Amino acid sequence: MRRLSLAIAAAAALASSAVLSAQQTTTIHPGKGGSPHVKSSWTAHGAKIDIVYGRPYLKGRDESTLMPAGKPWRTGADEATTITTDKTLKFGTLTLAPGTYTINTQPGAASWELIIGKLSKPGQWGIPYDPSLETGRAPMKLGKASVPAEQLTIFVDNAPDGGVLRIEWGTVSATAPFTVG
């Protein structure tokens, strides 16, 4: 019985390390204002997803002033945050065909909105927000991060029928589930 318990524990540890290693992050450049830029990659239900973004630090600042409620936020630093997918992703009623898009969010007191836009040119700057490039919005659930994040972090978590886009900074955690199809 002890041997079976050890085997189950070893299998669980191996499975959890496989999930953790599913994300690959590489540094692109240090950023113009000290916010490193990274490319994080995942595979969710056969879709290869890359997110490129600047990762600002809080540096003692109040997160609510950096992510103002009711206004589109560039969700990163410097250049526009982008998402690239090789399969169709569906966030609620918002469908992303394979391609590259910008990610903005609109924080709110009780919920957020994910804002997807067209990438007008490589290296497109993240501000000012240009509503003419917006392709659609999807609701995001607002929660509290399990551990406060000093640095902005974007994740893709696996889900039974797709994944969950998760954005964390400070004590904020905003999520948007998606399906692959």
pLDDT digits (tens, 9 = 90+) for 24-57: 999 898 887 889 999 999 999 999 999 999 999 9
Q: Going along 69-133, which residue ranges are E strands?
A: 81-85, 89-91, 94-96, 99-106, 111-118
Q: Is the dihedral of CA 117, 50, 36, 165 positive or negative?
A: positive
Predicted confidence band of residue 123 (pLDDT cuts 50, 70, 90): confident
Q: What are phi and psi of 75, to 5 degrees?
A: 55, 55
Domain boundaries, the chain: 23-180
Please tell me whether the overall predicted TM-score, pTM, comes out greater than 0.95 for this model.
no
In this structure, the number of other CB atoms found within 10 A of the CB of residue 99 comes to 12
Predicted confidence band of residue 14 (pLDDT cuts 50, 70, 90): very low
What pLDDT, on a 0 to 100 scale, did the predictor assign at position 22?
67
pLDDT digits (tens, 9 = 90+) for 97-111: 999 999 999 999 899
3-state helix, strand, coil in the chain (%, to 5): 15, 55, 30
